[in-house]
A and B are shown apart, each in its own frame.
Chain A
Amino acid sequence: MSMEDYDHLFKIVLIGNAGVGKTCLVRRFTQGLFPPGQGATIGVDFMIKTVEINGEKVKLQIWDTAGQERFRSITQSYYRSANALILTYDITCEDSFRCLPEWLREIEQYANSKVVTVLVGNKIDLTEKREVLRERAEEFAEAQSMLYLETSAKESDNVEKLFLDLACKLIREAKQNSLVNSVSSPMPGEGKTISYLNCCS
């Protein structure tokens, strides 16, 4: 296991249809390999990678979920505590793109409101088989105010970037949050406003 001292800990959950390449993306990032002939994920897989960003140690807890329908209820239980969601589809599979609204509904229902969502179009190495145009996906992502990135787990294109950019964004948001909190949190001593009195349900 990696060392316990870190400056940030983030939970990243990968979701998306079966076979779009979630496991391959995670393996590429955490182990630097493209696994040949590994089967569909059962339930959820869990991996940890610690990276250093601007001198800060960032521990990424990566939950690779199964895309198959019957695992949906297991997967859903991880949304709430996720800091970021990587919603993946396969650019060579129109169907996986058309399911995105359904996934967004899941996110809406189960994830916490501050979650960062990235849309990822995977398998760009299969250029000649592309079914979803980049522009179309970009447009969709923008409309849903998601980040968008195209990757190839096979060729290792943009995989590192995907996770590192995400980590950067999470660090930025975490810092912003703690700033907001320290401003609004009452000073100790007299006249302290009780924060639970203000907290909204």
Chain B
Amino acid sequence: MSETNSSVAMKRSASAGSSAVSIDTIESLTELDELERVYQQLCEEEKLVDSELEGLVSQRGNIETKMLALQRMGPNLQLIEGDASQLSGMITFTCSLAENVSSKVRQLDLAKNRLYQAIQRADDILDLKFCTDGVQTALRNEDYEQAAAHVHRYLSLDQSVIELSRQGGESSAVDASLALLQEAEQKLKALVKERLDQAIADGDLAQVERFFKIFPLLGLHDQGLARFAQYLCTQLASKSEENLILAVGGELGERRAALIFADTLTLLLEGIARIVETHQPIVETYYGPGRLYTLIKHLQVECDRQAEKVVDKFIRQRDYQNKFQIVQSSMMRSVPTEKMEPRELDPVLLEVAVMNARAELYLRFLRRRITADFEVGDATAPKATAQEHQQSMEKLLKHCLLSRTMQELIGYYIPMEEYYMRESVNKAVAMDTFEKGQLTSSMVDDCFYIVKKCISRALSSSSIDCLCAMINHATSVLESDFREVLCNKLRQGFPATTLQDIQRGVSSAVSLMQSSLQQGKFNTMAMGIESAEDAKASFLVTLNNVEVCSENIITLKKNLENDCAKLFSQGFGSGEQAQAKIDSCLADLVSTSSKFKDLLQEGLTELNNTAIKPQVKPWISNFLSISHNIEEDEFNEYEANDPWVQQFIVNLEQLMAEFKAGLSPVIYDTLTSLMTSLISLEMEKAVLKCTFSRLGGLQFDKELRSLVAYLTTVTTWTIRDKFARLTQMATILNLERVTEILDYWGPNSGPLTWRLTPAEVRQVLALRIDFRSEDIKRLRRTSKRDLLA
């Protein structure tokens, strides 16, 4: 009921609040109009309120029914309340019960743990007793493995537990056991060491391995490994010394003898690799991971000692040091006292390369094995430990005597290989021969054969630094020495004489002498035809040589890249460092290729200037002696007997035939390109010195077409572009009237791009004797769009 009331009240207050008129307002009203308006408004509001009230009253029945139903529910609610309080009591009870139980469980757990500890301790004590008894029995039975197992069990017991036990009730008994055990441990250790030493002395592998396995059980890992390694080293030493004696005194076949020290070193290194391979499983199984490094460290000492012996013998027997000194002094002085045939160095260089390659292979093998062994243990170890392991391994491998010895050998190898390369290249140059019909002479092939051979040998040593050093030297030999040789040959120039010159007699001889004087070559005259021919051939061959050099260098670099990729794929010179070093050295090598290209370009320009230009220029001057101010008769006469262009083409053909035969197609093509540029330039000059009639213009157009057609057949370069200006000149010279030019100029030019400036166009127009200069001048003024201004 109250609920309904309040809701009604709320509604009412809401409607009162929304009434537009407050009491205050009404009281302040004074005008009738206003009063009436407010009254009206209030009446309307009243009507609204009435209807609202009616609505509410009509709900009364409904609400009363609901009230009745509620009243009927009263007793039920009381029942529920009783149940609820009962439930709450039950929950509280259960809760305290649970808490009670859980604390008991905790106590139980604690008790259980203590019980376990007690059992463990009892077990340990029992074990201790068992071990004590067991050790004695095992020792009596000489069952050292069993005895060691007992000691190992004792050593792995929790020392604090043992300590606690001694404070307990059974202290005396435990003490006694302990004393016995410790005594047994010491005894066993001494015994095992003694037996292992004995086995080593006897060379009894089975016994060695037997006692070796016992050491880690007694916590003597390092001692075990050291003794075992000592055994292996003794074996190694005797075998290696035997091999060396055989090597020095043996009667071996010629082929083996040449590499006998490399072979002996190989036997040594392979022997060690085999030892590692064979014994790694035992070490892993009985000593755990991470111990292989220790074993190898011991083995490496013997390896170093034996390798040093082999290398010492090599140096003495092969006179290595002495050879180096001779090479050194002959490279220092320009006139060496004692010269060494490069060929004599071949065997030692090869042998050193092989030795180093074997040493690298061996060290790579060790690195792989040690790394793998460390990785197993270091997987869970802190990063610093892993790093430390890595560092100590690198130190061992990089700075061991074997490495240092090899570095020393390579240190001598490089200057000797350099000497070999330089001397051999010098020889190839000195013995240079040229066979007729070949484009290049023998020294290019020979030189690159030598360079390739030297770098390949350095590569075969597997030493990245050695390889890089030899690439550097090769770059120097090619760029300085060899390029200088070719440069000097080109510097001698292309003799300006030709057979025709001499046949042509005195007048040519004068011009010949002049051209010789100009070039400061007085000898050219005295030079017989034959030697002049030789000099020419030599110049052309040198150009070919230069071009082949620049190509060979690129090929050499590509091949080396492939070879290096192969080396890297085998795991040598791992790391970006090595790759970057080689890349940089190869980049230097390949950059010399462009220096040869530059030289070729210079040589061709020289050839064009000395051999082509002096010939072509007078032929073009002949054009001037042919009148182009002609009438119908002469035009027809020219038609029947060509006055100039055919002869010019024949001359060119003859001139170039020599070069076509003597130069490689690529160079010849470049030369013809130079020649066509020269011709177009000279022709232009000649044309501007001529005068033309209408038919003369036509004649010139015909001549130019013939010339361009011919030149197009001799070169792969586009000629049209080079002759664009001349072609446009011909077009101008062919006009009917001056004003006709306007059909081709400016907006009328169509696809034609003018290469001539307006001034040049006027200049060419003026060459036509039948064009009046006023008309040409007027072009400038009358042309509407400043066409030729």
Contact = CB atoms under 8 A, between A and B. Distances in A.
Interface of A: 1, 37, 39-40, 42-46, 48, 61, 69-74, 77-78, 80-81, 192, 194-197, 199, 201
Contacts of A39: 394-395, 398-399
Contacts of A37: 391
Contacts of B411: 69-74
A196 B487 contact: yes
B577 A192 contact: no
A180 to B, nearest CB: 17
Contacts of A46: 577, 580-581, 584
A74 B602 contact: no
Query: Can you list the 4 inter-chain pairs with the closest CB atoms, starting with the nearest?
Result: A43-B465, A77-B472, A77-B469, A73-B414
Given A39-B399, A199-B487, 20 more contacts: A37-B391, A44-B465, A45-B577, A61-B584, A70-B404, A73-B411, A73-B414, A74-B410, A74-B468, A77-B468, A77-B470, A78-B472, A80-B476, A81-B588, A196-B490, A196-B599, A196-B602, A197-B491, A201-B484, A201-B488
B414 A77 contact: yes
B473 A77 contact: yes
A61 B583 CA distance: 12
Interface in B471-526: 472-473, 475-476, 484, 487-488, 490-491
Given A81-B588, A195-B602, A73 B476 contact: no
B412 interface: yes
27 contacts: A1-B580, A37-B391, A39-B394, A39-B398, A42-B398, A42-B407, A43-B407, A43-B463, A46-B584, A69-B411, A70-B411, A71-B407, A72-B411, A73-B411, A73-B414, A74-B411, A74-B466, A74-B469, A81-B588, A192-B609, A194-B605, A195-B602, A196-B487, A196-B490, A196-B599, A197-B491, A201-B488
Contacts of B476: 80
B606 A194 contact: yes
Contacts of B391: 37
A39 B400 CA distance: 12
B415 interface: yes
Contact of B472 (A72, A80, A194, A201): A80
Interface in B572-594: 577, 580-581, 584, 588
B81 interface: no
A81 B472 contact: yes
A139 to B, nearest CB: 30
Contacts of A77: 414, 418, 468-470, 472-473
B475 A81 contact: yes
Contacts of A45: 577
B268 interface: no
B283 interface: no
Contact of B464 (A43, A78, A81): A43
B502 to A, nearest CB: 26
Q: Which of A39, A73, A197 has the most CB of B within 10 A?
A: A73
Contact of A73 (B415, B464, B475, B584): B415
Q: Which of A40, A43, A72 has the most CB of B within 10 A?
A: A43
B408 interface: yes
The dominant DSSP class at the B interface is: helix
Nearest to A69: B411
Nearest to B405: A70
A46 B575 CA distance: 12
Contacts of B408: 70
A77 B25 CA distance: 113
Contacts of A201: 484, 488
Nearest to A38: B391
Nearest to A188: B605
Nearest to A65: B465
Contacts of A61: 584
A66 B473 CA distance: 18
A163 B395 CA distance: 30
B609 A44 contact: no
Contacts of B581: 44, 46
Nearest to A9: B587
A26 to B, nearest CB: 13
Nearest to B411: A70
Contacts of A195: 602
Contacts of B475: 81
A71 B466 CA distance: 10
B580 A48 contact: yes
A176 B490 CA distance: 29
Contacts of B394: 39
A16 to B, nearest CB: 18
A195 B605 CA distance: 11
A44 B468 contact: yes
Contacts of A80: 472, 476
Contacts of A44: 465, 468, 581
Nearest to B466: A74
Contacts of B584: 46, 61
Contacts of A78: 472
Contacts of B414: 73-74, 77
A37 B384 CA distance: 14
A81 B466 CA distance: 17
Nearest to B493: A197
A81 B586 CA distance: 12
Contacts of B418: 77
A43 B464 CA distance: 9
B402 to A, nearest CB: 13
A61 B475 CA distance: 18
B399 to A, nearest CB: 6
A69 B411 CA distance: 9
A192 B487 CA distance: 17
B582 to A, nearest CB: 10
Contacts of B407: 42-43, 70-71
B345 to A, nearest CB: 15
A155 B463 CA distance: 35
A12 B87 CA distance: 92
Contacts of A42: 398, 403, 407, 465
Interface in B367-398: 391, 394-395, 398
Contacts of A196: 487, 490-491, 599, 602
